[in-house]
Amino acid sequence: MSKTILITGASGLIGQSLTKLLIEKEYIVHQLSRDVSKANNHVKIFKWDVSRMEIDKNCLKNVDTIINLAGEGIADKVWTQKRKQQIIKSRTGAINLLHDALKDNPNHNVKTFISSSAIGHYGHRNNEILTEDSEPGTDFLANTCLAWERAADKMENIGLRLVIFRTGVVLSKYGGALPQLAKPINFGLGSALGSGKQWVPWIHIDDTINMFLYALEHENIYGVYNMSSPFPVTNKELTKAVALQLHKPLWAPKVPEFLLRIILGEMSRVVLNSNRTTADKIIESGYRFKFPKLEQALNNIYA
């Protein structure tokens, strides 16, 4: 009998691709959403509303694994105090809601909880090589990730196998950071941001969803893992590589850091933080990257 997987945040870039992969692998997929009208023959959608802490507990029926991708977009809106609270609550609230639903249903079959976090956990670290044991940062992104992961820790306390992926910059032409980076390059206006020396922990969308599948299918996987390529690049190197793929010149000067701070305020940390992550832990577990190097990844995306 096929395992049943419950996904939150399934309408996002990762969630859509992961749902498709799981269906191809003949898993039964349940999703949680505020809009249940999108249900089809392949996916059963159950209603929830994190802001109101409401959930249809039937979503847990026969579920073996929960994959949690829920959370407001980090860079969707300006970081007012209210927006910051929404960003954190959308993550911690989603996990708390699932945790309470599991506690209220002691006969559930859930064995594994796999949750997103983010590389933002580390804050701005210049050239420091970052493992899963590196100290967290102190900025808003780091504090958000800390709250996110602490909420997920409660799943381990109720006996579930817990896996947390600190996701890097997911590369896909269908959404996320890459189309935003490529847009000015296509118009001949591409340039590095700030010094251009900040490290970007990128990962191809295929490796992203394959890593979730790997954690789902291998019970020896537990704890925290960096979800990023074994070969991070600098912002300047990433910009050059995309321009090369698009056959566009890079002539514009770097966008000064002070200007990004004026335009984006505190949210400039999203593009200015430097995170030189290592993928040694997931590789040592047996996972093999499909696209370990940036040129391979971009060749595939723009093929």
Give yes or no for residue 175 having a pLDDT over 60: yes
The CATH number of residue 88's host domain is 3.40.50.720
- Is residue 261 domain-resident? no
What pLDDT band is residue 2 in, cutting at 50, 70 and 90?
A: confident
- Give the pLDDT confidence of 102-148 residue by residue, as tens digits: 999 989 999 999 999 999 999 999 999 999 999 999 999 999 999 99
In a domain, 144, yes or no: yes
* Alpha-carbon span 291 to 228, nearest angstrom: 11
Residue 189 inside a domain? The answer is: no
Residue 249 lies in a domain: no
The pLDDT of residue 252? 82
Burial readout 220-233 (b: 16 or more C-beta within 10 A, e: otherwise): ebbebbbbbbeebb
Q: Alpha helix (H) ranges present in 193-264?
A: 205-217, 235-245, 257-264
Domain that holds residue 221: 4-172+201-229+279-290
Q: Give a yes or no: residue 142 inside a domain.
A: yes
Q: Model pTM? A: 0.96
Q: Is the pLDDT of residue 270 over 80?
A: yes
pLDDT tens per residue across span 198-222: 999 999 999 999 999 999 999 999 9
Cα–Cα distance measured from residue 34 to residue 173, given in angstroms and rounded to the nearest whole number: 26
Is there a domain that residue 163 lies in? yes
Per the prediction, the chain carries an average pLDDT of: 95
Q: How confident is the model at residue 1 (pLDDT cuts 50, 70, 90)?
A: low
Residue 113 lies in a domain: yes
Q: State mean pLDDT over 162-185.
A: 96
In percent, the amount of the chain with pLDDT more than 90 equals: 93
Residue 251 pLDDT class (50, 70, 90 cuts): confident
Cα–Cα distance for residue pair 66/12, rounded to 1 Å: 16
| Helix (H/G/I), strand (E/B), else coil: 38 | helix
Collapsed DSSP state (helix, strand, coil) of residue 199: strand
Q: pLDDT, tens digit, for every residue of 24-78?
A: 999 999 999 998 887 677 899 999 999 999 999 999 999 999 999 999 999 999 9
**What pLDDT does residue 42 have?**
86
Q: Count structural domains, the chain.
A: 1
Torsion angle of C-alpha atoms 230, 234, 240, 243, degrees rounded to 10: 70
Write out pLDDT tens, residues 180-191. Answer: 999 999 988 899
In a domain, 302, yes or no: no
For residues 164 and 253, the model is more confident at 164
